[in-house]
A and B are shown apart, each in its own frame.
Chain A
Amino acid sequence: MAETITRKLMLYFPECETEKPIVYHLVKDYDLIINIFRARVTPEEEGYLVLDVTGTEENIEKGTSFIQSLDIRIDTTQKGVTREEERCAHCGSCVPHCPTNALSIPDRNTMDVEFNTEECIECLSCLKVCPFGAMKSLF
């Protein structure tokens, strides 16, 4: 069996493409395991969907091509949740509230707070607790 990999994707739907059962097709036709982190999909408005897809590289390629054929934009730059570096005071308030260690303090001597977007599941906990308004959500 071919090795499986996981990729984090952000889908951007222009209006009116939100009616097709995309996730169903990804699972059924391309044998992908889907983990949806966050979605905002309102009929007749633009929408966003952030998810992890797990499967063989080949199937992920095919699945993403299928999505793109529906005129849905795929973004892999992980900009759903971002940190405005200048605003972050490295206070560490967010760290105990981050469920995945995407926000962490690797060196307890300097106490600098690192943000690793790869591990972010976009739960938005950090946005609620950051006193400096440094954590931002695209939608």
Chain B
Amino acid sequence: MKTIEQINEKISSGKAVVLTAEEIIDYVDKKGVEQAAKEVDVVTTATFGPMCSSGCFLNFGHSKPKMRITEAWLDDVSAYAGVAAVDLFLGATQLRANDPANIDYPGEFKFGGGHVMEKLIAGEEVQLFGLSYGTDDYPRRELRTTITIDDLNQAIMVNPRNCYQNYNVAVNASDKPIYTYLGYLKPHLKNCGYSSAGQLSPLLNDPYYRTIGVGTRVWLAGAQGHVYSEGTQHSPSCERGVLGVPSEGAGTLALTGDMKQMDPEFVRGVSLKGYGVSLSVGVGIPIPILDEQMLLQTTIRDRDIMAQVIDYSTDYPERTGKVLGNVSYEELKSGTIDLNGSKVKAGGLSSYGKARKIASILAEEIRNGKFTVTQPIAPLPVEQSMNPMKEV
């Protein structure tokens, strides 16, 4: 048994033993759980994939004369101005004004809120256009200027839903191609799309949220951010398999961090043909190895993590609940899955390579004493389901 304080003491003195969630698998195979649990202090997990539920709060400072912005666009992408005079909220999936969307099906969705966030973090100039009705104390009615992230007082990223514990695999059983957020799906189950870092993914390594909770410090695209709440659609009551790992979406985290500290390599606008724009964000979460049980959780491997295959041409949009089959991440990562006897090509949307890189960067930061682990200030719910929308 180790406490968070003891682990942090080792981190501060530069003596912590840190492995990634991939490295720990072989390590435990070699040393055994008992010995490894004594030696290892922290296991790092990571993910890099599209997470639509993202955005940022930006504060621009006051113009002269002052303006109470009521409508605003950043590089022609509308930002929500109903926050305060010069505070805006920019959503990652917001399309650029006049984007033809799916009028010219399938739309290309070349640029949107996620891309503006990427530009800001890369230090590029972004145009702000604002309108207002004017008040006695905020008389200005129109404004056009260019800014970079350095000109902002605050640029705070928020991901109301990130780090989906697991996710389903999309196929298309119909006879025409479809475009989804899990990619382009050919008819007759020719290919499938998935999105998870599997054995590296944070919540698959702590399936019952023992160490990850509200207040946990996380590596968010290079910045030190934290979990501010359970994520939206957090629904941990679900089917679970080996080591209690869910085979459905299950848990999610709400994350926040300072965009000024972020690295543009890990915040990227994405264009999903026929679907829309989104944002891919890199997240790393350290798991303190408190005891043997916690270590055991981190040894979960791709072949033991299962995902449900769902038909996105009918069952997904119609919410029928039908599952066509179950596959492991080992199979998905091999490039071909076997679905009820037929071979289906598999392609990911989340980048395993980038997740590996993040897990290593975070491990290095912990070894160097730059990143310590945290005791959550509140746990995440372990039992909770997601309700469908109430419609009349």
Interface residues of A (CB under 8 A from B): 89-97, 105, 108, 110-113, 128-129, 131-133
Least Cβ distance of A83 to chain B in Å? 14
Given A89-B354, A105-B335, does the pair A131, B347 have CB atoms closer than 8 Å?
no
A131, B50: Cβ atoms under 8 Å?
Answer: yes
Contact partners of A92 in chain B: CB under 8 A? 347-348, 351-352
Is B219 interfacial (CB 8 A cutoff)?
A: no
Given A96-B345, A129-B184, does the pair A90, B270 have CB atoms closer than 8 Å?
no
Within 8 A of A (CB), among B292-338: 333-335
Least Cβ distance of B170 to chain A in Å? 12
Is B260 interfacial (CB 8 A cutoff)?
A: no
Is B48 interfacial (CB 8 A cutoff)?
A: yes
Least Cβ distance of A123 to chain B in Å? 14
A93, B268: Cβ atoms under 8 Å?
Answer: no
* CB contacts between A and B, total, < 8 Å: 69
Flag B352-382 by CB within 8 Å of A: 1 or 0 each: 1110100000000000000000000000000
Closest 7 CB pairs of A and B: A96-B345, A111-B352, A90-B353, A131-B270, A96-B347, A92-B348, A91-B351
Within 8 A of A (CB), among B267-287: 268, 270-273, 278, 280
Residues of B contacting A: mostly: strand
Residues of A contacting B: mostly: loop
Interface size of B in residues (CB-CB distance below 8 Å): 29
Is B8 interfacial (CB 8 A cutoff)?
A: no
Listed by A's residue number, 23 A-B pairs whose Cβ atoms lie within 8 Å are: A89-B48, A89-B353, A90-B351, A90-B354, A91-B348, A91-B349, A91-B351, A92-B352, A93-B193, A93-B349, A94-B347, A95-B347, A97-B184, A110-B353, A111-B333, A111-B348, A111-B356, A112-B353, A129-B184, A131-B270, A131-B271, A132-B268, A132-B270
B110, A91: Cβ atoms under 8 Å?
Answer: no
Is B183 interfacial (CB 8 A cutoff)?
A: yes
For A111, give the chain B residue with the smallest CB separation. Answer: B352
Least Cβ distance of A52 to chain B in Å? 25
For B22, give the chain A residue with the smallest CB separation. Answer: A109
Contact partners of A96 in chain B: CB under 8 A? 191, 335, 345-347
**Most chain A beta carbons < 10 A, residue from B50, B271, B348:** B348
Least Cβ distance of B283 to chain A in Å? 14
A68 to B101, CA, bound (A): 44
Contact partners of A133 in chain B: CB under 8 A? 110, 271
A108, B191: Cβ atoms under 8 Å?
Answer: no
A97 to B183, CA, bound (A): 11
Partner of A93, one of B348, B352, B353, B354: B348
**Most chain B beta carbons < 10 A, residue from A95, A96, A113, A132:** A96
Contact partners of A111 in chain B: CB under 8 A? 333, 348, 351-353, 356
B183, A95: Cβ atoms under 8 Å?
Answer: no
A105 to B333, CA, bound (A): 10
Partner of A95, one of B49, B278, B335: B335
B184, A128: Cβ atoms under 8 Å?
Answer: yes
A91 to B48, CA, bound (A): 9
**Most chain A beta carbons < 10 A, residue from B334, B346, B350, B351:** B351
Given A108-B333, A129-B183, does the pair A97, B273 have CB atoms closer than 8 Å?
no
Partner of A89, one of B333, B351, B356: B351
Given A93-B193, A105-B335, does the pair A131, B272 have CB atoms closer than 8 Å?
yes
Q: Given A89-B351, A92-B348, A132-B280, list of 15 further CB < 8 A pairs?
A: A91-B49, A91-B348, A91-B350, A93-B183, A93-B347, A94-B347, A95-B335, A105-B335, A108-B335, A111-B333, A111-B351, A111-B353, A128-B184, A129-B184, A132-B268
A89, B268: Cβ atoms under 8 Å?
Answer: yes
Contact partners of B333 in chain A: CB under 8 A? 108, 111
Flag B70-105 by CB within 8 Å of A: 1 or 0 each: 000000000000000000000000000000000000
A133 to B270, CA, bound (A): 8
A45 to B160, CA, bound (A): 51
A92 to B353, CA, bound (A): 10
Contact partners of B334 in chain A: CB under 8 A? 108
Least Cβ distance of B302 to chain A in Å? 10
Contact partners of B349 in chain A: CB under 8 A? 91, 93, 131
B356, A110: Cβ atoms under 8 Å?
Answer: yes
Contact partners of A89 in chain B: CB under 8 A? 48, 268, 280, 351, 353-354
Contact partners of A131 in chain B: CB under 8 A? 50, 183, 270-272, 278, 280, 349
Contact partners of B351 in chain A: CB under 8 A? 89-92, 111
Contact partners of A97 in chain B: CB under 8 A? 184, 191, 347
